[in-house]
Amino acid sequence: MINSKTYVKSDLINSIQSKYDKLPSGDVERIIDIIFKHLTNSLASGSNIELRNFGCWRIKNMKPKIARNPKTGEKINIGEKKKIYWKSSKVLNQRINKSKIET
C-alpha cells in the first residue's frame, strides 16, 4: 500500500472511502478534518495525546536560550517555547520492523 512515497491526507481519504464505499468522500474528508482539528486543539491547549498501539504526542516546554546566527555570529535570544514530541508505540515499532525483515 505505502511504498517510498509520502502518504498524504488525500491518500487517507481515498483509502477509507474505497473500504467503505457507501460513505461519500466528502463525508470521509469532513470526519478526518474533525479528528485532526480535535487533536490540534488538544495539543494547543496543553494536553498530551495517546493513541494506544500507535503513539503519543507530548508537549514539552523549552527553556529560553541564547543562540548564534551561523552566518554573522551574532547572539540571538530565543524565548521560552513549547515543542511537540512524538513517540511511537511498541506495537507500531514492532510492526514497522517486522515488515522490513519480511520484505
Q: Is residue 52 part of a domain?
A: no
For residue 24, count other CB atoms closer than 10 A to its CB.
11
> Which DSSP helix (H) or strand (E) runs through 30?
helix 25-44
Q: Is residue 21 part of a domain?
A: yes
Compute the distance between CA of residue 97 and CA of residue 103 in angstroms, rounded to an integer: 10
Same domain for 99 and 61? Answer: yes
Same domain for 93 and 69? Answer: yes
Amino acid at residue number 101 = I
Q: What is the per-residue pLDDT across 11-31, written as a single tens digit (0 to 9) for each?
A: 999 999 999 989 888 999 999
Tally the residues of the chain: 103
- Residue 95's nearest CA partner among 53, 56, 52 is 53
What is the number of domains present in the chain?
2
Q: Is residue 15 part of a domain?
A: yes
Same domain for 35 and 73? Answer: no
List Cα–Cα distances, 89 to 6, 85, 98, in angstroms: 21, 13, 14
Query: pTM for the complete prediction?
Result: 0.72
Q: What is the per-residue pLDDT across 26-64, written as a single tens digit (0 to 9) for each?
A: 999 999 999 999 999 999 999 999 999 999 999 999 999
Same domain for 10 and 37? Answer: yes
Same domain for 62 and 100? Answer: yes
Residue 1 has pLDDT above 80, yes or no: no
